[in-house]
Each structure stands twice: as structure tokens, then as C-alpha cells.
């Protein structure tokens, strides 16, 4: 209930994937900094021990004197227990294990196909989708049964497929997908303004943009700062840093598997005239293998291939940190993450009115993409309401790049739900990164399918 002091208490959030050793901590830390909302977080995870660890970490955080957002964390043993009566549902899961991810990312390398992430597009994205869809069918059915009025926030990739599955199973669901890639490009434009305008610090939220595209392949056709059109400045920025790339303060692509020098963005601007609004590692996977031809090409464009071995080593470090956090040897930080998740929750309970980028089904906000495809545009968030902002039509040159992916999303969803292996293969071979003969593509597809078969809802093999 909301009092005169505009504080909302007794919010119940069901966190599916509540044993997360990364995003959950970001979410907890941001909640701890927000004094206007509080309530209960129900943690559900197939790894109940990891969820219990986060329960300990979350409750310890709430007890700290510097924590203004007070939440009670509790582990639940089933989706029913977690979801019943929830006001919000957060979904942040790893579909499968690193064994399956290893196949997604590295099996195609045997055929000369390189992927920098492997979770959204490319052959890895297709196989991840096939095993993720059954999981999201189960989640959507549970939400329909136990918390049909809840707002559902998805952070899981492949984002577009995940959100699309939720609506396919439960058309009345109030679901949307959140992704921070757009914020990264706003921050890049903020650094540009700092350099070109001589301003010491520009908040990325002061960079106003029109967002259009699909998740991880988003674009700005408008960008401004304090009324100044940023496109002419960006053209000069691109000219200055096109060859050497641009390293943001305290970041260096060569020392991080996640960072880039934005050379791909700069090249795409010269080719298409819009500002590509995702990390280079994601952008390149939606295109023919111009930037992903081989590891030397990748290095020349100054981004990285994220290996699964790196992810395994990183998880080990995060598991060690979870132990330290749970035992009180370390505390979560108290700096805001810059994510919009908590702001959007505040808006949906009526405390704010804000505009942010969001992934929801297309009802015409991008008129030259298919109706029903999950698209990423701005939307207005207010009390119990999300209204997509009309983004306008994409340039034909860019809509043609998106078209095969939109078709693949529809085919993969239908294939996963009906067991149509040939339809799944059609989507697989239709991906721009799969430049193999049909015979070789078939062998790769069958191998990757075999490697993930235990997660398929129907018998593909």
C-alpha cells in the first residue's frame, strides 16, 4: 500500500533463477539503495543451495545500517510457492549448463564459424533457443496459474525468443524484457559529449534517443543532448576514432572479454547512417561473418570472443565470492548499477513515470517489422501500465538485415513447441553466420542438437 510519504511496502517479487551469482546481487544492491519500496523477495532456483546462499546474503544486506531499502529474502521450493500472489516476477536463468554452452559456442568453430557470445543469434543462439523455449513454456504456464496479474521482467537470453514464448503461451501476460546494451551506447555518447563539449561529467540518462530494432541489434535514428542533435558530432567522433577505436575511461577492450573499442559501431554508422546501439560483440552476430571471419579479424576490429572456458573460470570466482558474502567476509557494494529495473518497478507501482527501452511484442511501434515479433523500442512506464513509443520505420537497408532473424524467431518457436526438426534446421541454416553447404550445416546441426537433447521438450533426435 502507498502512504502519504509515497513509500510502497509489502511488494512481493518472485525471482526465478534466484540462485544467480551475478545478476541477483546487482538486483539486491539496487533494491537496498531504494528507500521508497520494500517487501519480500522469494528466491526459486533448481539449485536450491545457491538460492539459500542468496537468501543469507540478501537478509544480511537488509540488516545493514546503510541499507535504506528493507527486503526480506526467502527461498521457495517450487514455482507455485514462489509465484502465488506475487506482484512482480523476475526471470534470470541460465538455460542448461556450461556443457551445452560449450557446444553452442565452440562446436561451430570446427567448421570455421566464430561467435563472440553465442546466446542470441548464430548457430549457438538457435540451439540455446531450442532448449530455452520449453523452460519458458513451463514458466509461462505457472505464471498463468499462480500469478496472472503480476508484471514479469525477463533478463534471460535469447531475450526476443524468451519474451515471445511467454506471450505465445499466455497472451494476457504482462511481460517485458530488460537489457542494458542500449545504456552502454548512451554512455558512449555521453563520453563523446564530455570530450567535444568540454563538460566534466554527462549522465547517460541525459542522452535522449529513439530506440528501434530487436534485442542486441538495436539502433538510434535520433540522439540529442540538451537539445543538441548528436549525429553531426558522432560523425566527427567516428572519423577521429575509426581506425584506433575508442576506449572508455577505466575500460580497455584488450583486457576484458566483454569490452570493445566500438570500431564495429563506427563502421556500421558509415555503412547505414544510424548509430548501432549494442556492444560490438552482439552486433556482429546478426551479420554475415565480415567481422567474425576468424580470430585475427576479430582482433583487428578490437572486440573479443568470449570463451566458455573463461565463463567457467569466472563462475568459480563468483562461487568463491558467494561463500565470502554468505559468511560475512565480504559485503555487497552500495553503488547503483545504472540498470533501470528498480526504476521500472517504481513506475509500475505508481511512484514514477519514466521512459526506458523495453522488449515487448510489436503492435506497430516499428511498422516495417512483423506484428507480434518482440522488438526493442522506448516505452512509457507508469502505474500498472507500459505504453510503447512509436519508433517509426527502420531504413530498408537495416530492416532487411533484421528480416531473417525475425523469420528465424518465428520458426524456432514453432519448431520447439511442435517438435518440427526440419523447421528448426531451416532457421539454423538461414542464419547469416551459417555460410556452410547444406550437407555440412546438417552435420553441425545434428551434432549440436544431440549435445542439448536432454533439454528439448519433444524428441528431435
pLDDT at 461: 65
Per-residue confidence (pLDDT) for residue 23, from 0 to 100? 83
Domains recognised in the chain with CATH numbers: 8-97+118-179 (3.40.50.720), 98-117+180-306+339-461 (3.90.1820.10)
Number of residues in the chain: 461
User: Catalytic site residue 180?
Assistant: yes
Mean pLDDT by 10 residues, the chain (461 residues): 61 96 90 94 96 96 92 97 98 95 97 97 98 97 98 97 98 96 96 96 96 98 98 98 92 83 98 98 98 97 95 94 94 84 95 96 98 98 97 98 98 96 97 98 97 85 65
* Catalytically annotated residue among 106, 180, 191, 208: 180
Contacts of 296 by beta carbon, 8 Å cutoff, 6+ apart: none
pTM as predicted: 0.95
C-alpha–C-alpha distance, residues 162 and 170, integer Å: 12
Pairing between β-strand 174-177 and β-strand 207-214 as defined by DSSP bridges = unpaired
Amino acid at each position: 500500500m502507498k502512504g502519504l510519504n509515497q513509500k510502497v511496502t509489502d511488494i512481493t517479487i518472485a525471482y526465478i533463477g534466484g540462485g544467480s551469482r551475478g545478476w541477483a546481487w546487482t538486483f539486491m544492491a539496487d533494491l537496498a539503495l531504494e528507500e521508497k519500496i520494500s517487501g519480500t523477495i522469494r528466491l526459486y532456483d533448481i539449485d536450491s543451495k545457491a538460492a539459500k546462499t542468496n537468501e543469507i546474503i540478501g537478509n544480511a544486506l537488509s540488516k545493514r545500517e546503510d541499507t535504506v531499502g528493507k527486503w526480506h529474502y526467502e527461498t521457495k521450493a517450487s514455482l507455485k510457492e514462489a509465484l502465488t500472489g506475487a506482484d512482480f516476477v523476475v526471470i534470470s536463468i541460465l538455460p542448461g549448463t556450461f556443457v551445452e554452452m560449450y557446444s553452442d559456442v565452440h562446436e561451430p568453430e570446427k567448421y570455421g564459424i566464430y561467435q563472440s557470445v553465442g546466446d542470441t543469434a548464430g548457430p549457438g543462439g538457435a540451439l540455446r533457443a531450442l532448449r530455452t523455449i520449453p523452460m519458458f513454456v513451463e514458466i509461462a504456464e505457472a505464471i498463468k496459474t499462480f500469478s496472472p496479474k503480476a508484471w514479469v521482467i525477463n533478463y534471460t537470453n535469447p531475450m526476443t525468443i524468451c519474451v515471445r514464448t511467454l506471450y505465445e503461451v499466455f497472451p494476457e501476460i504482462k511481460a517485458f524484457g530488460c537489457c542494458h546494451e542500449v545504456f552502454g551506447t548512451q554512455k558512449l555518447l555521453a563520453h563523446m559529449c564530455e570530450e567535444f563539449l568540454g563538460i566534466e561529467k554527462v549522465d547517460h540518462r541525459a542522452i535522449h534517443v529513439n530506440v528501434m530494432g530487436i534485442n542486441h541489434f538495436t539502433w538510434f535514428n535520433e540522439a540529442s543532448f540538451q537539445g543538441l542533435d548528436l549525429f553531426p558530432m558522432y560523425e566527427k567522433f567516428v572519423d577521429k576514432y575509426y581506425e584506433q577505436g575508442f576506449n572508455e575511461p577505466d575500460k580497455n577492450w584488450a583486457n576484458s572479454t566483454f569490452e570493445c573499442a566500438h570500431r564495429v559501431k563506427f563502421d556500421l554508422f558509415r555503412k547505414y547512417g544510424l548509430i548501432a546501439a549494442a556492444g560490438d560483440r552482439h552486433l556482429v552476430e546478426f551479420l554475415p561473418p565480415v567481422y567474425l571471419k576468424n580470430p585475427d579479424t576479430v582482433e583487428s576490429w578490437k572486440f573479443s570472443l568470449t570463451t566458455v572456458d573463461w565463463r567457467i573460470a569466472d563462475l568459480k570466482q563468483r562461487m568463491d565470492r558467494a561463500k565470502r558474502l554468505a559468511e560475512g567476509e565480504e559485503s555487497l557494494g552500495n553503488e547503483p548499477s545504472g540498470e533501470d529495473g528498480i526504476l521500472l518497478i517504481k513506475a509500475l507501482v505508481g511512484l514514477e513515470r519514466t521512459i526506458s527501452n523495453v522488449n515487448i511484442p510489436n503492435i506497430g511501434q516499428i511498422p516495417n517489422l512483423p506484428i507480434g515479433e518482440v522488438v526493442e523500442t522506448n516505452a512509457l512506464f507508469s502505474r500498472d501500465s507500459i505504453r510503447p513509443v512509436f519508433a517509426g520505420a527502420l531504413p530498408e537497408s537495416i530492416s532487411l538485415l533484421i528480416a531473417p532473424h525475425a523469420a528465424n524467431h518465428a520458426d524456432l518457436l514453432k519448431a520447439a513447441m511442435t517438435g518440427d526438426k526440419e523447421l528448426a534446421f531451416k532457421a539454423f541454416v538461414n542464419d547469416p553466420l551459417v555460410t556452410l553447404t547444406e550437407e555440412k550445416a546438417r552435420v553441425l546441426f545434428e551434432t549440436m542438437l544431440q549435445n542439448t537433447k536432454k533439454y528439448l521438450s519433444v524428441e528431435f533426435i
